[in-house]
Amino acid sequence: MTAVDTLERFDATIERLGVVLSPDDSPAEVEGVLNPASAVTRDGTLLLYPRAVAAGNISRVELCRGVRSGDDVRFERLGFALEPSAPYETRTVSGGMGCEDPRVTFVPVLDRYLMAYTAFGPDGPRIAVAQSSDGYRWERLGVVSFAPDLPQGDDKDGVFFPEPVISPNGVRSLALYHRPMLRLSTMDGRGAVPTLLALAPQERECTRIGYVPLDAVQRDTKALLQVRESALVLVPDEPWCCIKTGAGTPPVRIAEGWLSMFHGVDAREVSPGKYAMQYSAGFVVHDIERPHIVRYRSPEPVMVPEGIDETHGIVNNVVFPTAICELGERSYEIYYGMADARVGRARVELAAPNAGVEEPAA
């Protein structure tokens, strides 16, 4: 990477706008409503797809419609976009199952909304994909598979880029974030902290970008499930994200490249052998043509848990951005999980592109 590829700074302001969804006392949300995807329909309607968690950690993808009134927005629950029914979403052992943490991206080259979500079934967490022509009705495509030379097994945080890009091997592709998991952390997250920190950062849970050749997808959208390349992009090597990094919002095109908010996890020892986790968020900007080139990454978090709604819930001390909606030029609305219990809303205003920094060629 040369100096031209990097941004020396990236300035933005974030204004929290409060809670927009809390559990409604229904059985489907008794263990939280959190980590939503979003989409804007062809007629301009804002849709939100929060994860609704029933007793026993059974997850569904809810469907909500946004109704704006000035700067405010409220959401009407319309039912469910996905409920656990496929074999890879259901299991009989305890510990949970279902459809978790969706992200939705509209991909114009396919004229489709794509939902990547975590299917928690008999094999553990896997990235699954569904498609929709209108944002309301969803068709499952299946579980993503990876070429034999790529990381295999438990995987989360699938998020599609909206436009074709160029893979590291020079193939025009559709790209998606993903986070291969370590079996150690899925079995005993907090207890595994010392072991995880003893690993080199690149051996911890890192955010990657997977690539699916575009030609194959244009012939058959089920080819979206066949990832042929994967590049490491966000290593957990900063104090605020020393345990793991993971994808957050779908990327949006800005002058500097692809902008996304990602999450990072750190841990502090609260008593001998006991650790408390904290989920925070930062910005990442990728090269517009070759997103495995990271032009900017937040050296410090831009959102950390604050206030009772973010510090106390099903899982304490969590901000988890998963949805983004453009409001105007360099102005965005984000939706995020708050302490794994409720959904928050914030406004992000980007400063003008940095003067004197060479931008990537169009």
Distance CA 218, CA 67 (A): 35
At residue 3, the pLDDT reads: 43
E-assigned strand segments in 108-238 = 112-121, 124-132, 139-143, 145-146, 155-160, 165-166, 172-180, 207-213, 226-227, 229-234
Q: Token pair of 147, please?
A: 């070429």
Q: With a cut of 80, say whether residue 220 has pLDDT above it.
A: yes
Q: With a cut of 80, say whether residue 189 has pLDDT above it.
A: no
Tell me, yes or no, whether 120 lies in a domain. yes
At residue 90, the pLDDT reads: 97
Tell me, yes or no, whether 226 lies in a domain. yes
Q: State the Rg of the chain over Cα.
A: 19
Tell me, yes or no, whether 357 lies in a domain. no
Q: With a cut of 80, say whether residue 23 has pLDDT above it.
A: yes
Q: What are phi and psi of 167, to 5 degrees?
A: -75, 170
Instruction: State the residue for tokens 């899925």.
Output: 186
Distance CA 132, CA 282 (A): 30
CA 340 to chain centroid:
14
Tell me, yes or no, whether 356 lies in a domain. no
At residue 192, the pLDDT reads: 82
Distance CA 107, CA 127 (A): 18
At residue 120, the pLDDT reads: 98
Tell me, yes or no, whether 358 lies in a domain. no
pLDDT in tens, 53-91: 999 999 999 999 999 999 999 999 999 999 999 999 999
Query: Percent of the chain having pLDDT more than 70?
Result: 94
Nearest to 30 by CA among 62, 57, 63: 57
Bridge partners (DSSP) listed for residue 33: 52
Q: pLDDT category, 360, cuts 50, 70, 90?
A: very low
Residue-by-residue DSSP string for 17-78: EEEEE---SSGGGTT-EEEEEEEE-TTS-EEEEEEEEETTTEEEEEEEEEEEETTEEEEEEE
CATH number at residue 135: 2.115.10.20
Q: What are phi and psi of 340, to 5 degrees?
A: 55, 25
Q: pLDDT category, 241, cuts 50, 70, 90?
A: very high
At residue 93, the pLDDT reads: 93
Which domain, by its residues, includes 282? 3-350
Tell me, yes or no, whether 199 lies in a domain. yes
Over residues 176-201, the mean pLDDT reads: 82
At residue 190, the pLDDT reads: 60
Residue with the larger pLDDT of the pair 356 and 139 = 139
Q: With a cut of 90, say whether residue 342 has pLDDT above it.
A: yes
Q: Nearest-5° angle of CA 213, CA 216, CA 221?
A: 105
pLDDT in tens, 139-175: 999 999 999 999 999 999 999 999 999 999 999 999 9
Q: With a cut of 50, say whether residue 358 has pLDDT above it.
A: no
Over residues 215-239, the mean pLDDT reads: 97
Tell me, yes or no, whether 346 lies in a domain. yes
Q: With a cut of 70, say whether residue 197 has pLDDT above it.
A: yes
Q: Token pair of 335, please?
A: 């939706």
At residue 2, the pLDDT reads: 44
Cβ within 8 Å of residue 35, ≥6 positions away: 50, 51, 100, 101, 102, 320, 322, 336, 337, 340, 343
For residue 39, give the amino acid letter.
A
The mean of the pLDDT values for the chain is 94
Total of domains in the chain: 1
How do strand 145-146 and strand 226-227 relate by DSSP bridges? Answer: parallel
| Residue 261 CB neighbours (<10 A) | 30
Task: Say if residue 92 is exposed, middle or buried (CB neighbours under 10 Å; 0-12, 13-18, 19+).
Answer: exposed
At residue 362, the pLDDT reads: 42
pLDDT in tens, 243-283: 999 999 999 999 999 999 999 999 988 888 788 999 999 99
Tell me, yes or no, whether 313 lies in a domain. yes
Distance CA 267, CA 258 (A): 29
Query: Percent of the chain having pLDDT more than 90?
Result: 89
Collapsing DSSP states into helix, strand and coil, what is residue 129?
A: strand
